[in-house]
C-alpha cells in the first residue's frame, strides 16, 4: 500500500500492477500471496483512484480477478508458451470487455506469441495489447532476458494494430540497466512501460534485484526522452531522405558483396567435395572470427554485433557448401 500511495502521488503512473499468482521456476520460492491479494489490490485501487492490473494464468484466475474489479489483465511469459493455458484463460474471458496484454513467450517464437493473441481475439476480446519482456537464452548474458528488439519490431509489423509496452524489469533482472532499456523502448516508439517498484527493494519477496523505490522509478520515468515519431520541418525531411537513400545504397552493396562471398564459398565446397575434405574447418573459422573481432574498435562495431553477423554468415556458408557437397 505504501508503494502504491507513493506512486499514485507522483501523478506519473497510470496503472498499478501486482502479480498475486506467480509462476516460479523452483517450487518452494514465493509463489504469490494468492487470492487474498485481490482484496488488497481493490483497496489500493480505492485509495489511489488508479486502475489495477494482475497476471492471470488460468480461467479460475480470470474469474476471481473480474469478481474483484481488476481493470486490466496480463498473460505472463510462462503462460503464453502454453496453448492449453491460453485457451483456458480465453474461455473465461468470453463476453467480458476487460483489456488484456499478452507477454511474449519465454523463447523467441513469434508465431506462438501471435497464436496467443489470436486465441483471445477468437473469443471476442477487443482491447488487446502486447508486452515485450525479453527472451530467455542459455548461458551468461548482460540481460536476464535478451531484448532481441528486432524480433519485437517484426511482431509489431505482423500486428500493427496492437499497442505494445516494454517491461524493462524482466528484461534486465537488475536495476542498473533499466534506464537504458526504457530509453531504447521509447526510441522504438513503444506505447508505454511496465516497471516493478517496491518501497523497500531489498525486502521484496521476488525479483528484489530489479525493484526500484517509487522515488527512483519516478526519476527514471522523468529522465526518459519520449521523442516525436516525426518532424514536419522540410529541412529535417530532406536530410533524412538523403541519408536514407545512402543507407539503401550501402545495403544493396553489402548484399551484393555477401552474394559474391557465397559464390566463392560454393566454389570452395566443390574442391572440398572433389578432394573428400570436411566442410567444417574449425581452426580456419576461429582465425577469421578472431581477426574480425580484433578490428572491432577500429570499425566501431561492437564485438557482440560482429559475433552475430559472422555466425550468420558462417551458417549460410555451411548450408551452401552442404548443398554442393551432396550434389555429385
Q: Does 198 bind ligand PEP (CB under 6 A)?
A: no
Give the number of residues in contact with ligand PEP, rule: CB under 6 A: 9
Instruction: Please list, in sequence order, all residues whose beta carbon lies within 8 angstroms of the beta carbon of residue 181, skipping any fewer than 6 positions away.
Output: 147, 166, 168, 171, 172
Beta strands, E only, the chain? 16-17, 52-56, 72-75, 100-103, 128-132, 164-166, 192-193
DSSP notation for 292-318: HHHTHHHHT--HHHHHHHHHHHHHHHH
170 binds ligand PEP (CB under 6 A): yes
Taking the complex as a whole, the smallest distance from the CB of residue 216 to Mn ion amounts, in Å, to 17
User: Is 132 a residue that touches ligand PEP (CB under 6 A)?
Assistant: no
Instruction: Residue 16: name the closest of 26, 25, 24, 6 by CA.
Output: 6
Q: Is 156 in the site for ligand PEP (CB under 6 A)?
A: no
**Which CB, 207 or 216, lies closer to Mn ion?**
207
Q: Which does 184 bind (CB under 5 to 8 A by kind): ligand PEP, Mn ion, none?
A: none
Q: Give the residue, chosen from 61, 103, 132, 156, that forms a contact with ligand PEP under the rule CB under 6 A.
A: 103
Instruction: Classify residue 35 by its DSSP letter.
Output: T
Near ligand PEP by CB under 6 A: residue from 32, 76, 129, 173: 76
Q: Does 133 bind ligand PEP (CB under 6 A)?
A: yes
77 binds ligand PEP (CB under 6 A): yes
Q: Would you say 93 or 101 has its CB closer to ligand PEP?
A: 101
Distance CA 3, CA 200 (A): 9
Dihedral through CA 305, CA 313, CA 110, CA 128, nearest 10?
40
Neighbours of 217 (CB within 10 A): 25
CB of 117 to ligand PEP, least distance (A): 16
Picked from Mn ion, ligand PEP, none, the partner binding residue 32 (CB below 5 to 8 A depending on kind) is: none
* Dist. CA 202–CA 156, nearest whole Å: 36
**Chain residues in the site for Mn ion (CB under 5 A):** 207
Q: Does 144 bind ligand PEP (CB under 6 A)?
A: no
Residue 103 binding target from Mn ion, ligand PEP, none, CB below 5 to 8 Å by type: ligand PEP
How far apart are CB 220 and ligand PEP at their closest, in Å? 17
CB-nearer residue toward ligand PEP: 22 or 198: 22
Q: How far apart are CA 86 and CA 102, in angstroms?
A: 10
Binding of residue 147 to ligand PEP (CB under 6 A) = no
| Residue 9 in grid coordinates | 502521488
The CB density around residue 166, as the number of other CB atoms within 10 Å, is 27
Minimum distance, C-beta of residue 207 to Mn ion, in the bound complex (Å): 4
Distance CA 205, CA 30 (A): 7
Write out the residues near ligand PEP by the rule CB under 6 A: 19, 22, 55, 76-78, 103, 133, 170
Amino acid at each position: 500500500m505504501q508503494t502504491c500511495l507513493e506512486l499514485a502521488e507522483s501523478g506519473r503512473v497510470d496503472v498499478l500492477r501486482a502479480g498475486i499468482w506467480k509462476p516460479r521456476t523452483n517450487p518452494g520460492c514465493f509463489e504469490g500471496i494468492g487470492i487474498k491479494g485481490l482484496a488488497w489490490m481493490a483497496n489500493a485501487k480505492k485509495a489511489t483512484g488508479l486502475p489495477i492490473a494482475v497476471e492471470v494464468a488460468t480461467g479460475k484466475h480470470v474469474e476471481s480477478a473480474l469478481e474483484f474489479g481488476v481493470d486490466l489483465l496480463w498473460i505472463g511469459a510462462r503462460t503464453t508458451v502454453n496453448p492449453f493455458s491460453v485457451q483456458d484463460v480465453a474461455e473465461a474471458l468470453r463476453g467480458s470487455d476487460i483489456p488484456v496484454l499478452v507477454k511474449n513467450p519465454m523463447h523467441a517464437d513469434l508465431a506462438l506469441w501471435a497464436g496467443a493473441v489470436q486465441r483471445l481475439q477468437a473469443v471476442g476480446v477487443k482491447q488487446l495489447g502486447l508486452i515485450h519482456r525479453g527472451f530467455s537464452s542459455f548461458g551468461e548474458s548482460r540481460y536476464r532476458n535478451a531484448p532481441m528488439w528486432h524480433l519485437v519490431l517484426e511482431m509489431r509489423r505482423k500486428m500493427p494494430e496492437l499497442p505494445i509496452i516494454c517491461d524493462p524489469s524482466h528484461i534486465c533482472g537488475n536495476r542498473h540497466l533499466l534506464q537504458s532499456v526504457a530509453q531504447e523502448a521509447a526510441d522504438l516508439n513503444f506505447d508505454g512501460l511496465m516497471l516493478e517498484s517496491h518501497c523497500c527493494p531489498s525486502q521484496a519477496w521476488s525479483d528484489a534485484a530489479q525493484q526500484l523505490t517509487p522515488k527512483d522509478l519516478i526519476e527514471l520515468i522523468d529522465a526518459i526522452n519520449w521523442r516525436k515519431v516525426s518532424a514536419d520541418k522540410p529541412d529535417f525531411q530532406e536530410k533524412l531522405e538523403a541519408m536514407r537513400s545512402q543507407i539503401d545504397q550501402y545495403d544493396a552493396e553489402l548484399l551484393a558483396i555477401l552474394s559474391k562471398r557465397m559464390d566463392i564459398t560454393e566454389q570452395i565446397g566443390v574442391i572440398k567435395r572433389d578432394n573428400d575434405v570436411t566442410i567444417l574447418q574449425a581452426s580456419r573459422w576461429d582465425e577469421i572470427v578472431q581477426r574480425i573481432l580484433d578490428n572491432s574498435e577500429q570499425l566501431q562495431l561492437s564485438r557482440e554485433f560482429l559475433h552475430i553477423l559472422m555466425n550468420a554468415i558462417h551458417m549460410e556458408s555451411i548450408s551452401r557448401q552442404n548443398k554442393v557437397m551432396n550434389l555429385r
